[in-house]
Chains A and B, each alone.
Chain A
Amino acid sequence: MKYNRILLLTVMLLSLAGLTGGCGFKDIDKRFFVVAIGIDPPAEGAKGYKVTLRLAVPSPKVEPGAAKSRVETIQATTIAEGVRLLKSHVDKELDFGHCKLLLFGEELVKKDFRAPMQWFARRRDIQSVAYVAIGKPDANSILNVEPSSERLPGNAIFLTFGHGGTESSYTLYTYLFDLLRRAGERGLDPILPIMRVENNGYVVTRLGLLDKSKLVTVLNPQETEMFNQIRYEFKKSTVAASFGGQNMVMSVDGISSKTKIVRTNEGYVLRLRLKIKGIFEEAPIGVYDQDWKKLEQTFNAQVEQEAERLLKKVQQAGVDPFGFGLKFRATHAGSEKTWKAWESIYPRLKFDVKANVIIEGSGIIR
């Protein structure tokens, strides 16, 4: 019996050695980590895509400005082919596991972004939590920037988006899985932030609204902030109003936005209730002694106006980035008819926006 056991163990161990020989592992110093991918339409007349990869060059120094990266660009009929071709331009194996930014060129998004998006979705090594954005004027020029404050290659990109570094109410971010969800969903349309270059750094202030296949319209920074407040209840933002030429700005402490689709005699109405609490950040001296109820009413009126203008703009563009359609489906019986009904309701949908701005304080001074 004992002999049998030893024999079995030996056989098992030997087969283990044979198996591990087949593992194709490559050391970290034989890999090039791709930190960002940009896809652009090709130069005039050619077919396919212009693929740009930003590769991190490992460096022993970690200090601002010491990050080095290498940018490779190639033109090919398909992205997969382009990446394979690029592999022959570099000496190390390309690794997409750390790629955090997927950039579509503006020209590409204006035509059709679906094929490159599918490539991202199908690749097993591209993260679902990679950020997706639109590069203006094109993806290539954005990837070529090396910001002077960057400590690690590509780090400035990750800090711009997400909650890690700066948190701006104008900078929305979209994960790849969110883009895929919105691109497929009935009743929710894709959004992508628009990235441009200024002074050797990135600026993200505008939001692009897309339908299922292309860019439809772009929100300006104020509208982007409003969108962020309505859809994501984003707190680190501001509300502004003017009182006879005097501008007053409040920093938001708490925000809640509730939407409901109701049926009235005049057809369907979308009720939006915005409740914003905050304290003054910029106001003339003496605001403490004014009647806050009156100020609140002025704020309410101006916020309502701004919100309604945004909702109308979005409706007229024929897209639904807020997910009103999904909300309608979620609150009505589950059938094909519900969706059909919504498709005819949305273009004629009316908006009823009520804002409730609450002033909590005037800051440190009166």
Chain B
Amino acid sequence: MNRYFYYCVTIVSMLNLMMFVPYLLIQDRYTGAISSMLLAALIGTTMAFLFTFVMKAFPGKGVPEIFAMYFPKWVTAPLMFFLGCMYFISASIVLNGFAVLINRFLNPDTSSIVVLSLLSLACVYGATRSTLTNIFIVEMGLILNVPLILMILFKSYRNSNLDWDAMLTIAQYWRNPPKLNSYAAAVYLFTGYSGYAIFNRLNPPNFRLRYRWLIPLVCCFIMVTSFFVPIGFHGTEAVASYLYVWSVTADSMTMEYGFLERVVFIFLLLYLNLSLVYTANVWHIAMEFFKSCLPKAKPQIDPERTPLSNWVIACILGLFTVVTSYLLDEKQDLRLATNWLILRVCVEVISVLFLFVLSIGAGGKKQST
């Protein structure tokens, strides 16, 4: 089960390359993005390591069950509801962002609401599947898409239009102190472990997570790429004027003898797959959190038949996403994403540390018995 953990880590950092994270980092490129990224690499990795410790201390248990062990229902239910909302918002931001991207680059004649509704339908279906199926979906999605994405990323480094001077110029600004905005954006790339708040249910009791050094390695590579490659392509100034930084960067590459000359279309399709998989997956996690608030909730990792509650909750999530995107414009979307990222940083630190304290207690109990 080792590899599934790293799939979760990879998909989160890969996906955010396309979303708001590089945009937010690049806005602060002269004022602390570099130091924020360094700090994020440090704290993000620490958080991930602490969380893997928690996973080990409570094998086979998701976060709702861990809380249920220590606290009464009336304490855990609102907490779980809140955590579920946090997960739900992260996926909805991604899906909404992608619907807008499709509207901008692939099919300008269809409104983004229509696209979003179609995407939501697919994701609602994916989310209602069982926990076990969902982790398999992640594996398949990654294996099908990541090789080509990696090829495009490596090709971007070898592109003759990549201006290393511009990248070095920005790297010279490492002395500025970190900023909360860019720290929140950068550390988000390291939070792939959080999927295991639910997927930990799948781990067998004697589970041991190996190759943990992969977490900082993969995430740092993607973080550095997502920040520096656009700067290399668009220079230190013009890069800040692009709203969809990576779509434009992909559009700046050509593969004359590939299937399509313009890389952007391949890139967008690959990322469309990733974002569908990610959203289905995270909505499933959110759904499980909401389900744990229901009375008589019993976690099942692979039920014979899909419970009706799955459908009801997932449909509400989908509907909520579509309605919200109808109400908000692009600027408000971005503000929502920024504020959500900052809130998420606080929630992450508090919940991981809290779980860690609980797991130390659990470890102590085990030794005494």
Q: Contact residues of A with B, CB < 8 Å?
A: 1, 4-5, 8, 12, 15-16, 19-20, 22-26, 121, 124-125, 127-129, 162-164, 175, 177-178, 180-188, 232, 323, 326-327, 329-335, 338
Contact = CB atoms under 8 A, between A and B. Distances in A.
B110 interface: yes
Q: What class of interface size applies to chain B in its complex with A?
A: 35 or more
A187 B236 CA distance: 10
B253 to A, nearest CB: 8
B18 to A, nearest CB: 16
B238 A22 contact: no
A162 B261 CA distance: 13
A127 B104 CA distance: 12
Q: Which of B166, B173, B241 has the most C-beta atoms of chain A within 10 angstroms of its own C-beta?
A: B166
Contacts of A177: 161, 233-234, 248, 251-252
A331 B166 CA distance: 10
A139 B252 CA distance: 24
B169 A128 contact: no
6 tightest Cβ-Cβ pairs between the two chains A and B: A334-B172, A184-B238, A24-B109, A334-B173, A330-B168, A184-B237
Contacts of B121: 12, 15-16
A22 B105 contact: no
A187 B164 CA distance: 13
Contacts of B236: 185-186, 326, 329
A14 B259 CA distance: 35
B161 to A, nearest CB: 6
Contact of B235 (A25, A188, A335): A188
Given A129-B254, A334-B30, A175 B114 contact: no
B311 interface: yes
B117 interface: yes
B118 A1 contact: no
A327 B110 contact: no
Contacts of B175: 333-334
Contacts of B308: 1, 4
Contacts of A12: 121, 125
B296 interface: no
A124 B237 contact: no
Contact of B172 (A23, A127, A183, A330): A330
Contacts of A232: 160
B139 interface: no
Contact of A329 (B108, B172, B174, B238): B172
Given A12-B121, A22-B114, A330 B234 contact: no
Contact of A323 (B125, B165, B252): B165
A1 B235 CA distance: 58
Nearest to A176: B252
Contacts of A330: 164-166, 168-169, 172
A13 B84 CA distance: 28
A166 to B, nearest CB: 15
B248 A128 contact: yes
A124 B254 contact: no
Contact of A185 (B237, B253, B311): B237
B233 A181 contact: yes
Contact of B110 (A24, A335, A338): A24
Contacts of A181: 163, 233-235, 238-239
A246 B349 CA distance: 77
B330 to A, nearest CB: 13
A180 B238 contact: yes
Given A24-B110, A25-B109, A323-B163, A175 B252 contact: yes
B111 interface: yes
B256 interface: yes
Contacts of B273: none
Given A184-B235, A329-B236, A331-B168, 7 more contacts: A12-B125, A15-B117, A19-B118, A22-B110, A129-B254, A232-B160, A329-B165
Interface in B135-157: none
Nearest to A339: B169
B351 interface: no
